[in-house]
Amino acid sequence: MALDRETRDQLLDMVARFVAERLRPIEAEVAENDAVPETVIAEMRDLGLFGLSIPEEHGGLGLSMEDETLVAIELGRASPAFRSVFGTNVGIGSQGLVMFGTDAQKAKWLPGIASGETVTSFALTEPEAGSDSASVQTRAVRDGDDYVLTGSKRFITNAGKASLFTVMARTDPDAKGGAGVSAFLVPAGLPGLHVGKAEKKMGQQGAHIHDVTFDGVRVPAENRLGAEGEGFKVAMQVLDRGRLHIAAVCVGVAERLIADCVAYASERKQFGQPIASFQLIQAMLADSKTEALAARALVLETARKRDADQSVTLEAAAAKLFASEMVGRVADRAVQIFGGAGYVADYGIERLYRDVRIFRIYEGTSQIQQLVIARETLRRGG
């Protein structure tokens, strides 16, 4: 549901103040400790951030896609690890349930997801199924009123804290590609479900990814999400929305970096004058600003199309491709503008440079986005 302008402005102002007053001051601490403080996570729950996209009847804010992207842009002005705390609840960890869940499934799980009491995780990627997500090998074999899940998943965000997984598993071993894949709601703590240690990563300290293994995990058949064999459809529709959300976060990070560059370049003096007066510095700022504006426009236009119930598979992929590549270039220029100060940890620029690199990989690599865009363009005839 779209908020009225006054309510939306109040929400965006609240998020902006939370980012400026609570999140940005502790970015270095979170990176050093590789953990977001529990007090801050509790504040996120109180602000309703875990339920941005959950319908109001299930305790969430029920934001439209446009409103959600505007909130994501504001959240992007802080280290991406903060958004990751609740990002799966807002996106890939909940939207399959919102789109395909039965009334009973929604009533059981969505209120807890919206409040943040239930942390969700989306388990699609496997050791041999990353970009080729249709090659899922985790098996789900029907046994009476249960399915028995066996297999492993890789790089699963929030798995260490998740109490509910959306798991893609193959129910028909003879079907080709995604046709034999089904989706399941799998509560944490079931016998045979094991979560590995957190991986050491290049960036986004404070956000954690894990391997998850399923060793004969019995899941009630009533926990299947959608019809048998619809799992790939569930995943792709969830990813459409997730890609748009990530694109919006990229815009927010880029806008923050540009503001930091402007402030630094206006104060830093060389040859007796602020470096902001040098045309080559201005050129980098101009390129960054132009690209960030273009990404913002594409994200918001695509969000409005989705809110109008138009297919946005192509546009969401384009937004994610452009915005994630754009923020990488902006971060690189930021290091260049800051010079040596951008390479050391004091200013946080090198941290953001590392943080944004993952945006070109998860929710589908840039190369996968290119394939989606080309396929959809050919299908549409131009």
β-pair partners for 287: none
The residue annotated as part of the active site, out of 27, 199, 363, 376, is 363
Cβ atoms 360, 317 nearer than 8 A: no
Going from the C-alpha of 257 to that of each of 265, 287, 342, the distances in angstroms are: 12, 13, 11
- Written in H, E and C, the secondary structure of the chain is CCCCHHHHHHHHHHHHHHHHHHHHHHHHHHHHHCCCCHHHHHHHHHHCHHHCCCCHHHCCCCCCHHHHHHHHHHHCCCCHHHHHHHHHHHCCCCHHHHHHCCHHHHHHHHHHHHHCCCCEEEECCECCECCCHHHCCCEEEEECCEEEEEEEEEEEECCCCCCEEEEEEECCCCCCHHHHEEEEEEECCCCCEEECCCCCCCCCCCCCEEEEEEEEEEEEHHHEECCCCCHHHHHHHHHHHHHHHHHHHHHHHHHHHHHHHHHHHHHCEECCEEHHHCHHHHHHHHHHHHHHHHHHHHHHHHHHHHHCCCCCHHHHHHHHHHHHHHHHHHHHHHHHHHCHHHHCHHHCHHHHHHHHHHHHCCCCCHHHHHHHHHHHHHHHCC
363 catalytic? Reply is yes
Active centre residues (catalytic): 363
